Homo-oligomer: A and B are copies of this chain.
Amino acid sequence: MPKAATLVIENDPATIRRTVLAARAAGRRVGFVPTMGALHAGHVSLVKAAADCDDVVVSIFVNPTQFGPGEDFDRYPRSLDADCRLLAEAGVRWVYAPPTEALYPPGDATRVVVDGPSRRWEGEHRPHHFQGVATVVCKLFSMVPADAAFFGAKDWQQAVVVRRMVRDLAIPIDVVVCPTVREPDGLALSSRNVYLSSNDRVRAVALSEGLASARSCWQQGGTAAEATAALAAPLARQAIDVDYAVVVDPDSLEPHPGDARSLPAIALVAGRVGPTRLIDNMLLS
A→B interface (CB under 8 Å): 13, 17, 25, 105, 107-118, 134, 138-139, 142-143, 145, 164-165, 167-172
Contact = CB atoms under 8 A, between A and B. Distances in A.
13 contacts: A13-B170, A17-B172, A25-B25, A105-B167, A105-B168, A107-B116, A107-B164, A109-B117, A110-B134, A111-B113, A112-B113, A138-B169, A142-B171
A164 B109 CA distance: 7
A63 to B, nearest CB: 14
A111 to B, nearest CB: 5
B110 A110 contact: no
Nearest to A144: B170
B105 A110 contact: no
Given A109-B117, A110-B115, A139-B170, 11 more contacts: A105-B168, A107-B116, A107-B164, A109-B114, A110-B112, A110-B134, A111-B112, A112-B112, A113-B113, A139-B169, A142-B172
A232 to B, nearest CB: 29
A107 B112 CA distance: 16
A17 B173 CA distance: 13
A248 to B, nearest CB: 16
Contact of A113 (B110, B116, B172): B110
A109 B105 contact: no
Contacts of A107: 116, 164
A89 to B, nearest CB: 30
A168 B110 contact: yes
Contact of A115 (B111, B112, B143, B171): B111
Most chain B beta carbons < 10 A, residue from A108, A117, A138, A170: A170
A139 to B, nearest CB: 5
Contacts of A168: 105, 108-110, 139
A166 to B, nearest CB: 9
A25 B105 CA distance: 30
A169 B143 CA distance: 9
A110 B171 CA distance: 12
Nearest to A165: B110
A167 B143 CA distance: 12
Contacts of A134: 110
A25 B24 CA distance: 12
B110 A169 contact: yes
Contacts of A13: 170
